[in-house]
Amino acid sequence: MDACDLLIVGGGPAGSACAWRAVRGGLETVVLDRSQFPRHKVCGGWITPAVLESLEIDPRHYGAGRTLQSITGFRTACIDAREAEVACGKTVSYGIRRCEFDDYLLRRSGARLHLGTNLTSLERSGDAWIANGQIRARMVVGAGGHFCPVARILGADARKEIAVVAQETEFEMDARQRAACAVRGEVPELYFCRDMRGYGWCFRKGDYLNIGLGRLDAHGLPRHVADFVEFLKRAKRIAFDLPSPMQGHAYLLLRDIRRKILDDGVLLAGDSAGLAYSQSGEGIRPAIESGLMAAEAVLAANGNYGAARLAGYKTQLEARFGNPRGDLATELGRKMPIKLLGAISRQLLANRWFSRHVVIDKWFLHADQPALKVSAGAAADSRASAA
């Protein structure tokens, strides 16, 4: 039996951020993931600088030998309509490759790793948990993504939830493809569906190209994706066929926290808790911030892991991510007839002021929300809420 203070199920951004903070706080921490790392993760690989700041990662250090594409602007438009290009004048985002980024975060966390190990059972034994009959821990954090088995134990049923669905493909371009790609690395391109229920992206990171599309409804996703790729060719953004098929995944947007996210000896973080931002679908930052907050809550509970003592975690998540804004369609008025919504969206997304201040700063960069700093203050807040 491998005994530890904290078992984290899932070694993605939520799990590794939680592990990093917990290890620094002195907890014996084990991360269990069904994949061997490095592993592929379906994702665009766009992150905001706040992510690196919260984890105290120096971009120069991370970028040595790994893909770290600086992003200084964006192009926005409705598909098949006039576009706006916004220059921010500094690095406002980065492009990373998830196979590198997740592996880096997990290894630097300092936790003991059980990789290539599926969680097959998690049972209560007194005031502890026994995972797979092999790992004993008093505290468990479920960070296994949308289909996290720990979330299932807390009652989540992904089949009944309304999730965003997205597909992407990422590949290394050869010399011919590089010459036939008009997209610049520092200016990713975002193209919104006419009904504003999703958007496609074309995102160059060094020699890699990531193309994908996500929508609020799964209905007709492959058709939307195929139309989008044809549009990119028509608009001369790429002049070649995609060499690899799209892969898809689902996850929840933070409209409100609907899953049960804690109980005696257990918390959920990241996609497992359903925290991705509604307008952009950005899930890495909420995953990392909630992972850090989960570790703070465990440290603050100081060995008393009853649900009442952990309740401050939910309060903190609500304070950080609460009052979620609506998704794109809601923001622009879902009750509007689709034709009118389409006409207004085409105008707005081609307008540089709207693109900069609303789409980029508000919806995508959350420019008004500074990076989460994990601190003694956060732990004290958690203790106060639990008291």
Which has the closest alpha carbon to 196: 323, 326, 285? Answer: 326
12 touches ligand FAD (CB under 6 A): yes
Residue span 342-371 as binding mask against ligand FAD, x where in contact by CB under 6 A, dash where not: ------------------------------
Contact 272, 14 (CB under 8 A): yes
Find the binding residues for ligand FAD in span 224-253 (CB under 6 A).
249, 251
Q: What is the DSSP letter of 184?
A: B
- Interface pick for ligand FAD out of 6, 9, 140, 297 (rule CB under 6 A): 9
Q: For residues 45 and 203, give the distance between their C-alpha atoms in angstroms, rounded to a whole number.
A: 9
Binding to ligand FAD by residue 168, rule CB under 6 A? yes
Closer CB to ligand FAD, 118 or 304, in the complex: 118
Distance in Å, CB of 212 to ligand FAD, minimum: 5
Taking Cα atoms as reference points, which of 165, 168, 189 lies closest to residue 242?
168
Structure-block tokens of residue 216: 């609020």
Comparing every residue's Cβ against ligand FAD, the nearest one is 283
DSSP 65-78: TS--EEE-EEEEEE
- Rule CB under 6 A: which of 75-114 touch ligand FAD? none
Residues 6+ apart with CB under 8 A from 290: 14, 269, 270, 273, 275, 317
Query: What is the chain's percent helix, strand, coil content, to nearest 5?
Result: 35, 25, 40
> Nearest Cα to 6, choosing from 360, 371, 327, 294?
294
Least distance to ligand FAD from the beta carbon of 296, Å?
Answer: 17
Site string for ligand FAD, 34-73 (x = CB under 6 A): xx-----xxxxxxx--------------------------
- x-marked contacts with ligand FAD along 116-155 as a string, rule CB under 6 A: --xx-----------------------xxx---x------
Give me the torsion for CA of 176, 184, 210, 116, rounded to 10°. Answer: 100
Shortest Å, Cβ 216 to ligand FAD:
13
Residues of this chain, 264-293, that bind ligand FAD according to CB under 6 A: 270-272, 276, 281-285, 287
Interface residues toward ligand FAD, by CB under 6 A: 9-15, 32-35, 41-47, 118-119, 143-145, 149, 166-168, 212, 214, 249, 251, 270-272, 276, 281-285, 287
